[in-house]
Chain A
Amino acid sequence: MTASQKILNGDRLALARLLTKIENNAPEGRDALIELFPHTGKAHLIGVTGAPGTGKSSLVNQLALHYRKTENKKIAILAVDPSSPFTGGAVLGDRVRMRDLSGDEKVFIRSMATRGSLGGLAQSTANMTQAFDAAGFDIVIIETVGAGQSEVDIAKLAHTTLVVEAPGLGDDIQAIKAGILEIADILVVNKGDRPGVENTEKALKSMLDLAHPTERIFRHHGSNMRVTGQAQKASSSLTWIPPIKRTISTEGVGIAELVESITKHAEHLRISGDWAVRDRTRLQVELEALIQSSLMNRFREEVSEKKFNEVLEKVFQRNVSPYEAVKMLMNGRLK
């Protein structure tokens, strides 16, 4: 039996091995993804992002527990933590908060390091999500690294993006800045038992009141990509206004209401046609990323390291500017 057949049959070890191959960008991983691709497109991808220490992992733990108790769905969790920029090593600690889920055959938790990627996810996160999707997981929860203001890649991957805030992290000016709050489909104010929770909610609410429901357009490779469907334009009643949900994830408070919002959002996406639009956006982003990396590989193959280092040395000496260096190297490629 091939690896992909085993995965379609629910073999957990085969799935774990494949995830490693995909993460390492090994040829076996790519071959299996080609075979598995027709089986993807069924899972609901839920992104969870927010600043470090806002309680993302604990919240993911509670969400998964809730889904297991109420809906008997198969849940995969992909938890991303940062790699060291100096050694490439990482300590992946998200499982510490997810011990309640252990022993459940229908939950699969995988930790991964960013391996140099910025944007809050790793390069292979999207592909690993596809493997879970093909393996029949109904819900894939993707937890990003502790995100600052512009780690917004998750919005291009997930159907539903949760942005987790906690009291005391910023005022109403923070709330009107561009970036992470804009990508929220649902805003979660976690640690709801902490002082200042009302102020945080108020700041987020006034941010939403100020916002005119605009179309979500990603600037990507210099061209704009629309994320809302035509249907939304037709009827303003279909505009999704991100709800603000208060939770205490260590105690499970507010989780049922949060799950209700997630379900409503999924319904909204299907009714408005945005589900398909987001799927297409994701696939387009994936395709472009693949083209980029394969062009980079081709460049490395065609331009010798010696030539590259020669040109680099000229840049170091300040004889040649980086722009000129690019011209020289690209022309070198064409011989």
Chain B
Amino acid sequence: MTDKKIRVLVAKPGLDGHDRGAKVVARALRDAGMEVIYTGLRQTPEMIAEAALQEDVDVVGLSVLSGAHMALTPRIMELLRANGQTHVKVFIGGIIPDEDLVRLKEMGVTGVYGPGASTDDIIRDIKETVAG
């Protein structure tokens, strides 16, 4: 009997030390029945891609509040691809200005969530993209 679970890596790249949001999302995904691997603060893109590989996750969720998302995201996407993990969906939460949304989507980011986003929406989006 096969028993598949959605595995999500929740990571905080860069230097900001505010992980409340990441923890709220991790907890919400847990309560939605997913397995969440939490990596903690101040991760480099290399650390995130390596953890995503070892843990064979379906989804990587990045929390960025520092404003460095346009520098960190492309590097993470590139490393995921270089590792052969093209199927991994990337979601970003944090303080992301509207004008960056299009470029993030072009890089292959699946979803972006700002302050006040509902965890129900995040859960639904993850379930839909992983299933589809």
Which A positions have Cβ atoms within 8 angstroms of B? Answer: 12-13, 16-17, 19-20, 24-27, 83-84, 87-93, 95-96, 99, 102-103, 108-111, 113, 115, 297
Of A13, A89, A90, A115, which one neighbours B84 at CB under 8 angstroms?
A: A13
Are B2 and A89 within 8 A (Cβ)? no
Are B5 and A108 within 8 A (Cβ)? no
In the bound complex, how far is the Cα of B1 from the Cα of A83, in angstroms? 19
* B79 at interface, CB cutoff 8 A: no
Q: Which residues of B contact A95 (CB under 8 A)?
A: 37-40, 51
* B47 at interface, CB cutoff 8 A: yes
* Distance from B12 Cβ to chain A, minimum over Cβ atoms (Å): 11
In the bound complex, how far is the Cα of B53 from the Cα of A110, in angstroms? 10
Given contacts A12-B53, A103-B46, contact A89 B34 (CB under 8 A): yes
Closest to A124 in B: B3
Are A103 and B33 within 8 A (Cβ)? no
Q: Which residues of A contact B32 (CB under 8 A)?
A: 87, 89
Are A20 and B56 within 8 A (Cβ)? yes
In the bound complex, how far is the Cα of B126 from the Cα of A58, in angstroms? 31
In the bound complex, how far is the Cα of B35 from the Cα of A110, in angstroms? 13
Are A87 and B36 within 8 A (Cβ)? no
Q: How large is the interface on B (under 10, 10 to 19, 20 to 34, 35 or more residues)?
A: 20 to 34
A-B contact count (CB 8 A): 85
* B129 at interface, CB cutoff 8 A: no
* B30 at interface, CB cutoff 8 A: yes
Which B positions have Cβ atoms within 8 angstroms of A? Answer: 1-5, 7, 26-27, 29-40, 43, 46-47, 50-51, 53-56, 83-85
Q: Which residues of A contact B85 (CB under 8 A)?
A: 13
* Distance from B63 Cβ to chain A, minimum over Cβ atoms (Å): 14
Residue from B31, B54, B56 with most neighbouring chain A CB atoms (10 Å):
B54
Q: Which residues of A contact B36 (CB under 8 A)?
A: 89-92
In the bound complex, how far is the Cα of B9 from the Cα of A102, in angstroms? 15
Further 9 A-B residue pairs, CB within 8 A, beyond A13-B53, A89-B35: A16-B54, A17-B56, A26-B2, A90-B36, A92-B35, A99-B47, A102-B47, A109-B51, A115-B5
* Distance from A129 Cβ to chain B, minimum over Cβ atoms (Å): 15
Residue from A92, A99, A297 with most neighbouring chain B CB atoms (10 Å):
A92
Given contacts A13-B84, A102-B47, A111-B37, contact A84 B30 (CB under 8 A): yes
Closest to A111 in B: B37
A-B contact pairs, 12 of them (CB 8 A): A20-B7, A26-B2, A84-B30, A88-B5, A89-B30, A89-B35, A91-B26, A91-B30, A92-B37, A95-B38, A103-B50, A110-B55
Of B5, B7, B54, which one neighbours A109 at CB under 8 angstroms?
A: B54
Given contacts A89-B34, A96-B39, contact A16 B56 (CB under 8 A): yes
In the bound complex, how far is the Cα of B51 from the Cα of A111, in angstroms? 10
* Distance from A213 Cβ to chain B, minimum over Cβ atoms (Å): 40
Are A19 and B56 within 8 A (Cβ)? yes
* Distance from B116 Cβ to chain A, minimum over Cβ atoms (Å): 23
Of B3, B31, B39, which one neighbours A87 at CB under 8 angstroms?
A: B31
Are A102 and B51 within 8 A (Cβ)? yes
Are B2 and A25 within 8 A (Cβ)? yes
Residue from B53, B55, B84 with most neighbouring chain A CB atoms (10 Å):
B55
Are A113 and B53 within 8 A (Cβ)? no
Closest to A103 in B: B46
In the bound complex, how far is the Cα of B123 from the Cα of A89, in angstroms? 12
Q: Which residues of B contact A83 (CB under 8 A)?
A: 35
In the bound complex, how far is the Cα of B26 from the Cα of A93, in angstroms? 10
Are B38 and A92 within 8 A (Cβ)? yes
Are A24 and B2 within 8 A (Cβ)? yes
Are B30 and A90 within 8 A (Cβ)? yes
Q: Which residues of A contact B34 (CB under 8 A)?
A: 89
* Distance from A206 Cβ to chain B, minimum over Cβ atoms (Å): 39
In the bound complex, how far is the Cα of B49 from the Cα of A13, in angstroms? 12
Q: Which residues of B contact A26 (CB under 8 A)?
A: 2
Q: Which residues of A contact B5 (CB under 8 A)?
A: 24, 88, 113, 115
